[in-house]
Amino acid sequence: MISTILIIGGGQAGAQAIDTLRKEGFGGRLVLIGDEPQLPYQRPPLSKKYLCGEMAAERLLFRHQSFYDEHRIELKLGTRAVRLDAGARQVGLAGGETLTYDRLLLCLGAESRRLTCPGAELAGVHYLRGLADVAPIQTGFKPQARVVIIGGGYIGLETAATCRKMGCEVTVLEMADRIMNRVVAPAVSQYFAAEHRLHGVDILCDMRVTRLEGRERVERVVCADGSSHEADLVIVGVGAVATTELAISAGLACDNGIVVDEYCRTSDAAIYAAGDCTNHPSPRFGRRVRLESVDNAFEQAKTAALNMLDRPVAHDRVPWFWSDQFDNKLLIVGLSQDYDRQVLRGDPASRSFSVCYLKGSELLAVEAVNHSKDYMAARKLIADRTPLQADRLADASLALKDAV
């Protein structure tokens, strides 16, 4: 008999799990423990509309207080879970309280990877992961303020676009030879680099940051090639690491995330995990992955909730992700590793194109730039493993779904 479910982590996954548990009829005690003080909120606008002040904080919330009251959710916000005793099925909170569970769901998310070079601790150096990170960045938004962004991944680039919109002078320093190099094809990197440059962002690749300098606060960023970049504000976007401390301390299997099976179960039968913090199998792609996306957190949390209620269902989704930079929308669906051929559909100069990844005749992934039709078609083709013809695929006058 499951009478108490605890959820640790009040982000995307935690909020979704609550929804599903109550919708699916769980009537027992449901407690959400979150170390951020706010009601669960969405993170994507933090680097986009919320950062530039176009969206009110109220609109970030998934649900208002009344929802939690009506659904009898015990909220323990601004409270960190600091102990997990899997044997006794108990969680200890920072304030000293101990809670006992029948099922536990870990939705611990991920944390910004920190810079370790000299000067990394100077004032004026910022990270962007949670709501509390936004206001200190916004206070630096003054016309012509010099913003140096370290890292040309999604968060760095979205933030660069927003800072530029706010009138700042923006430089992006990327260590690799192209932006978003780990996640998109060269054609997509080139397109976005050109878009950023067109809007006045200085994109510099092959730049390894060696130190940050300044007296009371950061004044410049120095790179291995000897170049120095004057900065009033530095924003670091060099990736994120799964939050696993609590799971490791409880003896749960962890390896680049909390290891779960396709039912979102950890190495302890009463403990489940969902979202950015998990390392999970993807049956569709035949390998383990750790994903950082809204879609993954949302879908895994739904699956975990059902499994916690002893309704077995496997998590086997084709992952997808989006990024907004200036007026461009990048949509990525599938996993591109293991491909043997890339096919470009359309002309990047038209500002709408996609890159398809094939293994033999099987479509593994698509990166669609301002092309939601290709993205929509790809979701189905990838899920169904529909065999495609590469030459038809390359013909952008044919709809993607007709390349079969």
Ligand X SMILES: Cc1cc2nc3c(=O)[nH]c(=O)nc-3n(C[C@H](O)[C@H](O)[C@H](O)COP(=O)(O)OP(=O)(O)OC[C@H]3O[C@@H](n4cnc5c(N)ncnc54)[C@H](O)[C@@H]3O)c2cc1C
- Tell whether residue 367 is a contact of ligand X (CB under 6 A): no
Report how far residue 264's alpha carbon sits from residue 384's, in angstroms, rounded to the nearest whole number: 23
Q: Which of 12, 20, 336, 352 binds ligand X (CB under 6 A)?
A: 12
Among the residue ranges 27-35, 97-105, 191-199, 350-358, the one whose residues contact ligand X (CB under 6 A): 27-35
* Binding footprint of ligand X, residue count (CB under 6 A): 37
Q: Which of 5, 6, 20, 34 binds ligand X (CB under 6 A)?
A: 34
Question: Do residues 354 and 346 lie in contact, with contact meaning Cβ atoms separated by under 8 Å?
Answer: yes
Report how far residue 40's alpha carbon sits from residue 130's, in angstroms, rounded to the nearest whole number: 11
Largest CA distance in the chain: 64
Report how far residue 342's alpha carbon sits from residue 358's, in angstroms, rounded to the nearest whole number: 6
Among the residue ranges 107-115, 254-262, 263-271, 279-287, the one whose residues contact ligand X (CB under 6 A): 107-115
Which CB sits closer to ligand X, 33 or 393? 33
Q: Which of 5, 14, 304, 377 binds ligand X (CB under 6 A)?
A: 14
**Minimum distance of ligand X from residue 232's CB (angstroms):** 21
Binding track, positions 86-105, relative to ligand X; x by CB under 6 A: --------------------
Q: Which of 6, 7, 10, 272 binds ligand X (CB under 6 A)?
A: 10
Strand locations in 254-398, DSSP E? 258-259, 271-273, 278-282, 287-289, 320-325, 328-334, 341-345, 353-359, 362-369
**Minimum distance of ligand X from residue 15's CB (angstroms):** 7
Q: Which of 109, 152, 281, 319 binds ligand X (CB under 6 A)?
A: 109
Which CB sits closer to ligand X, 304 or 403? 304
**Minimum distance of ligand X from residue 216's CB (angstroms):** 27
CB neighbours of 203 closer than 8 A, spacing ≥ 6? 152, 172, 174, 179, 193, 196, 197
Q: Which of 246, 252, 335, 356 binds ligand X (CB under 6 A)?
A: 246
| DSSP assignment string, 280-308 | EEETTTTEEE----HHHHHHHHHHHHHHH
- Tell whether residue 140 is a contact of ligand X (CB under 6 A): no
Question: Do residues 335 and 182 lie in contact, with contact meaning Cβ atoms separated by under 8 Å?
Answer: no
Report how far residue 103's alpha carbon sits from residue 89's, in angstroms, rounded to the nearest whole number: 8
**Minimum distance of ligand X from residue 230's CB (angstroms):** 25
Q: Which of residues 186-245 bind ligand X (CB under 6 A)?
A: 243
CB neighbours of 96 closer than 8 A, spacing ≥ 6? none
Report how far residue 139's alpha carbon sits from residue 142's, in angstroms, rounded to the nearest whole number: 8
Strands laid side by side in the 103-106 sheet: 73-77, 29-34, 4-8, 103-106, 271-273
Residue whose pair of structure tokens reads 């994109």 in the numeric block: 203
CB neighbours of 312 closer than 8 A, spacing ≥ 6? 263, 306
Among the residue ranges 12-20, 226-234, 303-311, 394-402, the one whose residues contact ligand X (CB under 6 A): 12-20
Task: Give the C-alpha distances (Å, rounded to integers) separating 164 from 13, 178, 288.
Answer: 31, 20, 37
Q: Which of 276, 299, 367, 374 binds ligand X (CB under 6 A)?
A: 276
Q: Which of 81, 86, 170, 305 binds ligand X (CB under 6 A)?
A: 81
Binding track, positions 308-347, relative to ligand X; x by CB under 6 A: -------------xxx------------------------
Among the residue ranges 95-103, 183-191, 290-298, 367-375, the one whose residues contact ligand X (CB under 6 A): 290-298
- Tell whether residue 250 is a contact of ligand X (CB under 6 A): no
- Tell whether residue 265 is a contact of ligand X (CB under 6 A): no
Strands 233-236, 146-150: pairing is parallel
Among the residue ranges 2-10, 56-64, 305-313, 342-350, the one whose residues contact ligand X (CB under 6 A): 2-10
Which CB sits closer to ligand X, 129 or 401? 129
DSSP-based three-state secondary structure for 44: helix
* Phi–psi pair at 350, nearest 5 degrees: -80, -5
Report how far residue 383's alpha carbon sits from residue 374's, in angstroms, rounded to the nearest whole number: 14
Which CB sits closer to ligand X, 129 or 211? 129
Q: Which of 7, 18, 108, 115 binds ligand X (CB under 6 A)?
A: 108
| Residues of the shown chain interacting with ligand X in the complex, contacts defined by CB under 6 A | 8-14, 33-36, 43-44, 46-47, 80-81, 107-110, 128-129, 155, 243, 246, 275-277, 292-295, 297, 321-323
